Structure 1
């Protein structure tokens, strides 16, 4: 028991070093709940509402003749492209800066993008603001880990991180529940309400968030060559984006348009996706503590592959809920699982570099697949083809993880 406890503490510190780099020292007294709630609101607006909340709105955008279905899906891909740019900007940034003013400014920009989307001024106008919200989401995703979670005492990082990143699932759930009610009053009203939510969240964060300074982390030592197990793990993590994009971008439209069940039904199944996204990471974290990060990630991808494929064979309401829950829980929980697995396979000097490479690979793959799937839907008009491709790719990701586990065992034997 003593040895197990020591191992867990060492492993946890290694995993936290990946997610929260050096340069963020915790003060003697830290306002845990102020920081955590600030992080939750930032993730709620920038990712949960501005990014994932767009999916349930696509049927309404098409139905109101603002854009064609193909154009609406492409606009969703533009947001993911912005997310990649935002993540790339943070990874390449080398200067130090005060975090709180930047966080508030980014949240304000996100709120403005939501308000600006209420104006039907054409594809270029709408696409620009979708790009802006993607950039702000990508920056905030990286920044909040350092500015909020990174400042928490070591014993509280898990609690603060759990609250912070639960904001994504909370945003998905709330926007999915509100959208069916709001679209009855028109798209202008809907976007305006979402924008006001963004403004309110920004004001609260400006008042609550503790001050902090982000200090550029030193370049990593330990060589530049990435081990084979880590390469295989990163390939699997990036490849899993193919399994998530069909539900992330097309799920509500599949139910509302593809199954002819209406906007309300599409929003309801999206809400289940959000509920699972909020609680899945917590459950998977407990499972990983007992069985290991890599085996849990492998099992999760198998579950997710089945959940993505389920609508191909059964489109009953219960099956759709099961599919949404399976995908939502694993897709967002896999971020934490992949980080923990990479920590266990990386030398101390390679942790941040390896996790940075995984994050960038996933962002690139997600943006590319969103654009590719949008084109594929335009060419075929088939949602089921997207689910088929996604599920097959997740099975391939499982194969990559099996190879990573074998390579890790071989490396440990020498």
Structure 2
């Protein structure tokens, strides 16, 4: 983590206000905009708003938007400011919720789901750069975890709010989510740090390459595999319980709440793991646990097993963000270079997430809706992230041995 501390004029209350604003942003743009869609999938199909194949396709639209947002986040901030860009993106998500209450066509719905994804990607690359410069170095892991706990709150909230809203109707559900997003946008509006105090948070128009450290590129590759590994549970978990196992909407909602509880615990616990154990060993440990959990999901049907696995797996999507961010800070001391590297890591993640979203959707439809196959592939992707580090480590050791061996005439 960087050795620099928070600015001396940053008060404790100002730090927590900034963290609160970041939490609201992650809650609205990803916690609700992406994850509230998952428990709605069975209802969208049963209400005949869209076909099953269209509903899965529309879920992938948000992932594509996330990639676009990760690419345009910093250019947008340079033309306005971090604070203005974050506010605009939260408003865009709110508007998308209201628009999704009216299923005029697949293209209409796709466009708004795409916009909500764009906002999520832009917020992901900007929010840490806006808030963390105000946080003491020793607490950056915990603070980033607190920011991204909004993802978990959104997941848990969608599992508890969506079912009663659905009793009012599908359209009312989208409108209710829009009202909640609007309230959170308003609550965080004046909590963002003033532009003058985080001027360094916006990257200059031209910067040197982030780093040539091979470990950074290894992280990019691992982060991409992680993205491929978390998509199936994120998209198919509730549908697997409701339609795949025939357990019903109520049980599906309960499992999603358990997933959400894991997502609430994940960011802070993973952030603490980075502060205390270090990001690199923390990533290894988390990947090993997740590979086992996702693999077991493919063969589990008992409620207790599903609930436990949902908590473990739910901690992964939001939890890995502060852990990967901490790894970037470990490898790169310069603040501007950290932003460049984090932006590239997010783009790597978003690219594979979007590709995986469409690939899983196509495979799901081609396999006749085999949820278990999706989870097996996801476990393989997480194992791949672990093996990448092993391969790089073994290759480095071999090169060291070659360099250390005496040359022969």
| TM bracket (short chain) | 0.7 to 0.9
Q: Distance in 2 between matches of 1:309 and 1:195?
A: 35
The normalised TM-score by structure 1 is: 0.87
* Equivalent position SS for 1:95: helix
What displacement does 1:217 show? 2.3
Unaligned runs of 5+ in 2: 404-409
Q: How many residues in Structure 1 have an aligned counterpart in Structure 2?
A: 395
For residues 317 and 289 of structure 2, the distance between their equivalents in structure 1, rounded to whole angstroms, comes to 10
What is the aligned partner in structure 1 of residue 348 from structure 2? 361
1:13 match: secondary structure: coil
**Alignment partner of 1:13 is 2:6:** no
**Counterparts of 1:13-412 in structure 2 under 5 Å?**
13=2, 27-29=9-11, 31-92=14-75, 95=78, 97-154=80-137, 157-212=140-195, 214=199, 216-218=202-204, 219-221=206-208, 226-346=212-332, 348=334, 351-380=338-367, 381-406=369-394
Instruction: Kindly report the root-mean-square deviation, in angstroms, between the aligned alpha carbons of the 2 structures.
Output: 2.7
Q: CA offset at residue 59 of structure 1?
A: 0.6
Partner SS, residue 56 of structure 2: helix
1:52-79 Cα deviation digits (max 9, x unpaired): 1111111110110111111111111001
CA 279–181 in structure 1, closer or farther in 2 if over 3 Å, else same:
same
- Alignment partner of 1:120: what SS? coil
3-state SS of paired residue (2:48) = coil
Listed one character per residue, the Cα deviations across residues 181-208 of structure 1 (whole Å, up to 9, x for unaligned) are 2212210111111011011112212244
Give the Cα–Cα distance (whole angstroms) in 1 for the partners of residues 234 and 15 of structure 2: 31
Asked whether the equivalents of residues 238 and 365 of structure 1 are also in contact (C-alpha less than 8 Å), the reply is: yes
Write the distance in 2 (CA, Å) between the matches of 1:377 and 1:124: 21
Report the Cα distance in structure 2 between the residues aligned to 1:169 and 1:271, rounded to whole angstroms: 10
Cα distance 1:58–1:78, how it changes in 2: closer, same or farther (>3 A)?
A: same
| Alpha-carbon distance between aligned partners in 1 of 2:260 and 2:397, rounded to the nearest angstrom | 36
Tell me the SS of whatever aligns to 2:287.
helix
Distance 1:83 1:38, change over 3 A: same
> By how many angstroms is 1:319 displaced?
1.5
Find the aligned partners of 2:108 and 2:261 in 1 and give their Cα distance. Answer: 32
CA contact (8 A) 1:47 1:171 kept: yes
Identify which range, 43-52 or 361-370, moves more after superposition. 43-52
TM-score normalised according to structure 2 size: 0.88
Q: CA deviation at 1:255?
A: 0.9
Deviation, 1:122, is: 1.5
Offset of residue 156 of structure 1: 5.5
* Alpha-carbon distance between aligned partners in 1 of 2:195 and 2:399, rounded to the nearest angstrom: 41
Q: For the residues of structure 1 that align with 2:155 and 2:303, how far apart are their CA atoms?
A: 19
* Secondary structure of residue in 1 paired with 2:102: coil
Q: Distance in 1 between matches of 2:168 and 2:159?
A: 16
Tell me the SS of whatever aligns to 2:301.
coil
Which runs of at least 4 in structure 1 moved beyond 6 Å after TM superposition? 408-414
